[in-house]
């Protein structure tokens, strides 16, 4: 097996232990807890993989998250159906949130096995909006968002030709679903999984905790080496996702024992959830301090990107970076640390409040 690939944002997290130093090969699985298997699918991005989870269930298997809807991923699914899953049908498709690497094959799998999609309501609705090119996927709305925050005109125009990238990775969205809500208990294979809906990275991201096995399926909310993208999006231009994310981390820390096994969507499974939650919160507070220091003079969000991201960003990463910069700015406005001023050019800029 190849060693775990590094990501530019990856940083070793002290205090964590990784029971499995290497991931499963494509088309195979690793048993990580009683009745829970780990599979991995490729992604065509710098973060080049996603972890998916197979849970033993009555008469078959529940899958948690599905990978993007592209041929290489579906070929690996076919290998599993012909190999380790032969004679073990999927009986439920459960998705943590609407992002393409999680929901991309959900409808394909649900239709193939004639089963239901389970997911939070806001995630199903956002998937439909994104697939239809609405919300943040509306091209002109996205360009206006970039211009408002100081992205140079030529750079902003480069996003015009992207089209609806979501639909390329999510060929179809299930026409119906069963809602997973905060506090729900989902029984899978006789085991009780408690649902938490958490915010910041997605509108109503689901995490699932099974006390019996001491396992948390964390999705993207708690990752061991990188911070999930926390972004202000064009469809909610004045939102405060970082406040919601930090509040969700606090909720999870209070609810979860410190020694559980965390199954994240990226990188490796780990133990040390309290340590990692504290580190993620500290990471964002440190970024806020960088923003405050920079905003001793007026800065647009675009001008704050190199403050927060020291490496060269490609077009794909630029959109995420702008959203992250705005998330920290909006959080600091809410905390009373920054003021906003709109210039004659229509660009919002931010300045530290006088003491």
DSSP 8-state class, residue 49? E
Q: Please give the pLDDT value at position 12.
A: 58
The alpha carbon dihedral of 263, 268, 272, 273 has a sign of negative
CA distances to 15, 55, 188, 236, 313 from 36, rounded to whole Å, are 24, 5, 11, 37, 37
209: left (phi over 0), alpha (psi -120 to 50) or beta: beta
Q: Please give the pLDDT value at position 5.
A: 41
105: phi then psi, degrees, rounded to nearest 5: -110, 10
Mean pLDDT per 10-residue interval, the chain, length 355 residues: 40 82 95 98 93 97 98 97 97 98 98 98 96 72 89 79 84 98 98 98 98 98 96 94 98 98 98 98 98 97 94 79 97 98 96 89
Q: Which residue has the tokens 């069963």?
A: 178
**DSSP E strands, 16-158:** 30-33, 36-42, 49-57, 60-64, 90-94, 117-119
Q: Please give the pLDDT value at position 8.
A: 37
Read off the tokens for 144. Answer: 């206006």
Domains observed in the chain:
30-272 (3.60.15.10)
Determine the Cα–Cα distance for residues 298 and 88; give it in Å rounded to an integer.
59
DSSP 8-state class, residue 5? P
Q: Please give the pLDDT value at position 156.
A: 77
Q: Please give the pLDDT value at position 135.
A: 58
Partnered with residue 208 across adjacent β-strands are 195, 217
Burial class of 293 by CB neighbour count within 10 A (0 to 12, 13 to 18, 19+)? exposed
Determine the Cα–Cα distance for residues 198 and 254; give it in Å rounded to an integer.
13
290: phi then psi, degrees, rounded to nearest 5: -65, -40
| Cβ atoms 242, 338 nearer than 8 A | no
Listed in sequence order, the residues at least 6 apart from 116 whose beta carbon sits closer than 8 Å to its beta carbon are 92, 93, 110, 176, 177, 178
HEC string for 144-173: HHHHHCCCCHHHHHCCHHHCCHHHHHCCCC
Q: Please give the pLDDT value at position 155.
A: 78
Q: Please give the pLDDT value at position 6.
A: 44
Which of helix, strand or coil describes residue 186? strand
Partnered with residue 90 across adjacent β-strands are 61
């Amino acid at each position: 097996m190849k060693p775990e690939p590094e990501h530019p944002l990856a940083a070793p997290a002290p205090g964590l232990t990784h029971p499995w130093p290497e991931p499963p090969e494509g088309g195979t699985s690793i048993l990580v807890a009683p009745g829970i298997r780990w599979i991995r699918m490729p992604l065509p991005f710098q973060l080049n993989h996603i972890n998916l989870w197979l849970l033993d269930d009555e008469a078959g298997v529940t899958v948690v998250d599905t990978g993007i809807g592209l041929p290489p991923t579906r070929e690996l699914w076919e290998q599993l159906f012909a190999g380790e899953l032969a004679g073990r049908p999927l009986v439920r498709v459960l998705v943590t949130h609407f992002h393409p690497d999680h929901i991309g094959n959900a409808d394909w799998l649900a239709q193939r096995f004639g089963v239901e999609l389970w997911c939070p309501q806001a995630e199903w609705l956002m998937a439909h909006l994104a697939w239809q090119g609405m919300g943040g996927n509306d091209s002109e709305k996205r360009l206006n968002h970039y211009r408002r925050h100081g992205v140079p005109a030529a750079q902003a125009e480069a996003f015009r030709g992207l089209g609806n990238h979501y639909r390329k990775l999510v060929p179809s969205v299930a026409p119906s679903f069963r809602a997973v809500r905060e506090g729900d208990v989902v029984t899978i294979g006789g085991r009780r999984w408690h649902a938490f809906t958490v915010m910041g990275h997605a509108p109503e991201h689901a995490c699932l905790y099974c006390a019996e096995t001491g396992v948390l399926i964390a999705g993207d909310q708690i990752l061991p080496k990188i911070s999930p993208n926390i972004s202000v999006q064009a469809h909610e231009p004045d939102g405060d996702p970082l406040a919601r994310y930090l509040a969700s981390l606090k909720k999870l820390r209070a609810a979860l024992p410190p020694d559980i096994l965390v199954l994240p969507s990226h990188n490796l499974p780990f133990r040390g959830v309290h340590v990692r939650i504290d580190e993620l919160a500290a990471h964002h507070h440190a970024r806020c301090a960088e923003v405050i220091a920079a905003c001793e003079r007026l800065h647009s969000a675009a001008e704050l990107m190199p403050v927060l991201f020291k490496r060269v960003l490609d077009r794909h990463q630029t959109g995420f970076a702008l959203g992250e910069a705005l998330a920290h700015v909006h959080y600091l406005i809410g905390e009373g640390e920054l003021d906003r001023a709109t210039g004659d050019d229509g660009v919002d800029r931010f300045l530290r409040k006088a003491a």
